[in-house]
Amino acid sequence: MQMRWVQLPAEEDKVAALHSALKVHPVICRMLVQRGIETYEDAKAFFRPELDKLHDPFLMRDMDKAINRITTAIEHNERILIYGDYDVDGTTSVATVYCFLKDFYPNIDYYIPHRYTEGYGISFKGIDYAQETDCALIIALDCGIKANDKIDYANERNIDFIICDHHNAGEVIPNAVAVLDPKRSDCPYPYKELSGCGIGFKLIQAFAMQQGIDEEKYLQYLDLVCLSIGADIVPINGENRILAYYGLQKINTNPSEGIRRLLEISNVKKQLTISDVVFILGPRINAAGRMDDARDAVKLLICDGEQTINHEQAFKLNTYNNDRKELDRDITAHALDMIGNNEAMLKRKSTVVYHTEWHKGVVGIVASRLIETYYRPTIVLTESDGKVTGSARSVKNFDLYEAIYECKDLLIQFGGHKYAAGLTMQPENVEAFSAKFEEVVTSRITEAQLVPELEIDAEIDFKDLTPNFINIIKQMAPFGPGNMKPTFVTKAVYDTGWSKIVKEDHIKFSVRQNHGERMDGIGFRMAQKMNIVKSGAFDVAYHVEENEWNGNTTLQMAVKDIQVAE
């Protein structure tokens, strides 16, 4: 797929000032300025995250109300229900708050809505469960900020709510006892990008501070917070960087029993990065809610060392994930065939594919897979309970939610944000919806938006990739949104004669610059660009990676794209 290279900007005077202060390679300073790090003190906080720099949780609006209500519930032995969504962020949130409170308060339960019978967020069924089990207080995590009708329903039944959410608020805040959400317009909390589990973590931090509980009692859940940060794709900067940094340390040194079991059954023996958390742990936990019941994920995450139960739960999640991968692969192949064999679909600027028998739990993943081949706004639909339901994914800078909103007259319901959404319609409306969605997308999308962007941090020569330079790059981790792994460009490189196609569609690179420095690398699914490699000078965009083999460590390129040299 052709890519559009975009050089990330950095103000030269700020780069120069930071270089004067840090005395490191100018390229390092450029990348730091791109990430909002402009002074020596900024750099110190970035490279040496400290837990004592976490913000006071009581800066969050309603935190005092939330803690007072929990304290009252405990004093009166009221039953508390911990409620969370069925994805990684929701299940880690529930496990964190449930385990923390359960440690000293037994009258507590948890609830996860079923993806297929209840849908996303707070459900009437969940509130009915709370009433049936005599719960006087529900702590909702990773959901609830727009559930005004559900909160009113609970209030009518004398059930109080504490909402802990990180999504954008609506015009009217729900009538709950406390609503914790830094994205509330009236919330002064200084960091706005916490995950749902991060909000739950601030809740238990505040409770511990008020009750004089040792900080280790809440810090022990940083591995779950880190898991939520990675899987929910929130920015890894500011407070999230501190939480992810120490959470990743805990995953790699002393993970909770559930995570340890999941790592064992996944046969993971290396030190994990955030990327590994996202692609190894995240899918296995998510698979429970996609394939069956997300409570299976919570059961693993709250386990306390009973080996047989732990192993069985980890095995169940791993099996769910294997089933999910098989469905994902088969449905993606089917959908690609549908598009590839339909000339009209190939000419569209959007993709809408529909099949009655596709599994509802993986259509969002399939939509993302289709964008890898056909880079355009994509909706994958299937049938569930007599209705057509599906997931949508977008391309950079195109507002998918607004496009779907324009088709609302053909929908039963929809929800989401700029880059991802869910929707439901009557089967007889699929064809009309597909046509109208294409019409809306065509009228709004630009040609540039139909070409994927590759953001370039800096141009560099191979000779500058010194051990000291690489060591500083490694200290920039953990990488993720807001602090992506650096992408470098080295210009005018040549094939040494040893570059070759491997496994049919990958390129194993061996290249040099004019002054002699050589680098090896791998480019996945790039075989169609082998003619560029063999035709003369070309520019290469890549991440730098360390490759360990037989006790030796060498640098190699993880090649993202190549272009004919200018």
* pLDDT at residue 93 in the model: 97
108-111 and 135-141 beta bridge pairing: unpaired
pLDDT at 446: 96
> pLDDT (tens digit, 9 = 90+) per residue, 329-339?
999 999 999 99
Q: What is the mean pLDDT of residues 356-364?
A: 94
- Please indicate whether residue 553 or residue 16 has the higher confidence score (pLDDT): 16
Domains of the chain, earliest start first: 4-48+453-564 (2.40.50.460), 57-318 (3.90.1640.30), 342-450 (3.10.310.30)
Q: Running DSSP on this structure, what letter comes out for residue 280?
A: I
Convert the pLDDT of each residue in 192-203 to its tens digit: 999 999 999 999
> Which element (helix H / strand E) includes 201?
helix 196-211
pLDDT-derived band of residue 306, with 50, 70 and 90 as boundaries? low
Q: DSSP string spanning 88-111?
A: HHHHHHHHHHHHHHHTT--SEEEE
Instruction: Spell out the alpha helix ranges (H) of 445-510.
Output: 467-475
Distance (Å, rounded) from C-alpha 303 to C-alpha 258? 6
Residue 487 has pLDDT above 70, yes or no: yes
pLDDT digits 0-9 by tens, 266-282: 998 889 999 999 999 99
Task: Report the amino acid identity of residue 332.
Answer: T
Among 80-94, 114-128, 272-286, 520-534, the range scoring the smallest mean pLDDT is 114-128
**Vertex 507 angle, CA 506 and 509, to 5°:** 155
**Percent helix, strand and coil across the chain, each to the nearest 5:** 45, 20, 35
Across-strand partners of 180?
164
Query: Is pLDDT at 71 greater than 90 in this prediction?
Result: yes
- The whole model's pTM is what? 0.92
pLDDT tops 80 at residue 1: no
pLDDT exceeds 90 at position 431? yes
Rounded mean pLDDT, 430-456:
97
Helices 282-291 and 88-102, interaxial angle, to 10°?
Answer: 100
Instruction: Name the burial class of residue 334, with classes exposed (0-12), middle (13-18) and buried (19+) by CB atoms within 10 angstroms of its CB.
Output: middle
Residues in CB range of 554: below 8 A, 6 or more apart: 520, 546, 547
What is the reported pLDDT for 553? 82
pLDDT surpassing 80 at residue 308: no
How does DSSP classify residue 485?
P
Q: Check residue 392 and give its pLDDT.
A: 95
SS (H, E, C) 133-186: CCEEEEEEECCCCCCHHHHHHHHHCCCEEEEECCCCCCCCCCCCCEEECCCCCC
- Over the stretch 122-146, which tens digit does the pLDDT of each residue have? 999 999 999 999 999 999 999 999 8
Split at pLDDT 50, 70, 90, the class of 418 is confident
pLDDT digit string, tens, across residues 445-484: 999 999 999 999 999 999 999 999 999 999 999 999 999 9
Q: Provide the percentage of residues in the chain whose pLDDT is more than 70.
A: 99
pLDDT band at 183 (very low <50, low <70, confident <90, very high): very high
Give me the pLDDT at residue 310, please: 77
pLDDT at 307: 65
Q: Which helix (H) or strand (E) holds 325?
A: helix 307-340
Mean pLDDT of the residues in the chain: 94
In 3D, which of 127, 167, 173 has the Cα closest to residue 150?
A: 127
Cα 175 from Cα 287, distance rounded (Å): 33
Predicted confidence band at 414 (pLDDT cuts at 50, 70, 90)?
Answer: confident
Say what the pLDDT of residue 119 is. Answer: 80
Q: Which amino acid is at 158?
A: N
Q: How far apart are CA 327 and CA 256, in angstroms?
A: 30
How confident is the model at residue 305, as a pLDDT? 62
- Per-residue confidence at 503, pLDDT binned at 50, 70, 90? confident
